[in-house]
Chain A
Amino acid sequence: MTLSAALLIVAQIAAVGTPPTGDTIQVPQMRSQPVVTATTKRSPVAFDADRFDSLTANALRGLFDDAVELGLPVRPLVNRALEGAARRVPSERIVRVVREHAAALHHAKRALGDLSREDELEAAAIALRAGLDERAVEAMRTSRGRESVVVPLVVLTDLVRRGVPMANAQEAVARLARAPRSDDILLGLQATVAKNAQRGPGMALDALNRYVQATGVPPAVAAPISPDRKPVRPPEP
């Protein structure tokens, strides 16, 4: 552990002031409730502090408390920390990844809205970390309406990761997301693109275009001409 990382962790411990405990603790879901989220929809996950050294565990607790104050779900952060411990990743990296993930969750919440569910925020955070921008996430929310955006975001992230250009993937997912039973259609799109992407460059995009055409979902209606255009005055008789 480098000196700077150690100092950072010590500073976080001092700021939070949480006494170190070696036992398994239950992460508080909402210490304060500034905004309504759906973090309580999923069962809480236990933060096994024994998997970390005391400094790291306390630093992580500080990050979790900060997330609670911001109204962010803690469960994804705990999962990220436990995953790092299971992979035997160095402590500094675990703290850094959890901090980055908390920031991504914050951006995801800004893009999706305060009433978004935990799964939606997590999927959006993963999408943002994969390279999508907030406008793409917002567009997905717009195209989906009040329905969950989890599957569209999961599929969109997967498509981009497999080499489909961002604009094509976003247009295709937004187009299919408006169809009824769209979750099944979107998961079929993911499976088709995943199979074809292994066969060479360009095959993923080709499969995406063929799949979207085969679904028969019409493209989005073009926006009407802007009404702020000056009307053409008819010629004088």
Chain B
Amino acid sequence: MAADDLTFPRPDDLDDVHATFIASQLRASYDATPAHDATHVARVSRAVLAAAMHAPSGDLAATPRSRGVRPRWWWGAAAAALFMTVLTRPWRPDVAQRHADSALTSSASDSMGPTNEPIVSGRTSEEEGGTVRFEFTLPATARAVSLVGDFNGWDAGVTPMVRDRSGRTWSARIPLEPGRHEYAFVVDGQRWVVDPLAPQVPDAGFGPTNAVVVDIEGTP
């Protein structure tokens, strides 16, 4: 159906003589209204400013004491300083620690998930017999995760990690000599990932890795 076939009249088609008359009268009344003079404008401005601002200091002496003390601009600053000095005292160590801990639990970053758990996390633990257990948790299910490091020639095919029942945590247990070792995790044979919380070896040309120190204290 075309727009011209509409049965309802459009606003332009309305021919309301009363509306036209009322509009003309309104327009005439607006034209007849005198403009505000400068004194009126100044009076209104002063009233608005007086309502928004505090009274000048000179008014206190002129004001009778029975009318009370009018607020001063510095009262708020003094109250805030008193509040900080007496009650909050953020420089106290225990308060600072509380603030830091609350910040820990409330904020999130790129490596934190919505449940405030690291998206990627790992753990190393020394076990009996000179073996070290590596654990690595991923947010999504990976097909394969390998452990690479200076102990296996950085070969992703040497030390595959075993997945647990949850499907997110992978682990491997390998014998390691005492000393410092570097390692990383290879996800699906392509992506090199490091444990964000373990000691990090900065990128020196290839990419970051992790470091683990195995029982170094007894080494002669």
> Which residue from chain B places its CB closest to the CB of A122 in the assembled complex?
B180
Q: CB-CB < 8 A to A80: which residues of B? A: 204, 206
Residue with the highest number of chain B CB atoms closer than 10 Å, among A42, A119, A190, A213? A119
Q: CB-CB < 8 A to A119: which residues of B? A: 179-180, 213, 216, 219
User: In the complex, how many residues of chain A place their beta carbon closer than 8 angstroms to a beta carbon of chain B?
Assistant: 54
State A122–B204 Cα separation when bound (angstroms). 13
Per-position binary interface string of chain A over residues 180-207, scored 1 when its CB falls under 8 Å from any chain B CB and 0 otherwise? 0001000100110011101110010011
Q: Does A179 contact B (CB under 8 A)?
A: no
> Which residue from chain A places its CB closest to the CB of B211 in the assembled complex?
A154
| A150-B216 in contact given A97-B206, A119-B180, A199-B104 (Cβ < 8 Å) | yes
Q: CB-CB < 8 A to B206: which residues of A? A: 80, 83-84, 87, 89, 93, 97
State A75–B219 Cα separation when bound (angstroms). 18
Q: Does A129 contact B (CB under 8 A)?
A: yes
| A43-B213 in contact given A129-B202, A158-B199 (Cβ < 8 Å) | no
B97 touches A86 (CB 8 A): no
State A203–B107 Cα separation when bound (angstroms). 11
A191 touches B109 (CB 8 A): no
Q: Does A141 contact B (CB under 8 A)?
A: no
Q: Does A8 contact B (CB under 8 A)?
A: no
Identify the stretch in B9-17, B151-159, B166-174 within 8 Å (CB) of chain A at 4 or more residues. Answer: B151-159
Q: CB-CB < 8 A to B211: which residues of A? A: 123, 126, 154, 158
| Min C-beta distance of B192 to chain A, whole Å | 7
State A199–B100 Cα separation when bound (angstroms). 9
Q: Does A138 contact B (CB under 8 A)?
A: no
Q: CB-CB < 8 A to A43: which residues of B? A: 177
State A44–B198 Cα separation when bound (angstroms). 26
Q: Does B4 contact A (CB under 8 A)?
A: no
| Min C-beta distance of A50 to chain B, whole Å | 11
Q: Does B131 contact A (CB under 8 A)?
A: no
Q: CB-CB < 8 A to B96: which residues of A? A: 206, 210
Per-position binary interface string of chain B over residues 90-114, scored 1 when its CB falls under 8 Å from any chain A CB and 0 otherwise? 0001001100100110010101100
State A191–B213 Cα separation when bound (angstroms). 14
Q: Does B139 contact A (CB under 8 A)?
A: no
B219 touches A161 (CB 8 A): no
B197 touches A86 (CB 8 A): no
Residue of B104, B204, B209, B216 touching A151 (CB-CB under 8 A): B216
Q: CB-CB < 8 A to A126: which residues of B? A: 201-202, 204, 211
| Min C-beta distance of A85 to chain B, whole Å | 7
A195 touches B197 (CB 8 A): yes
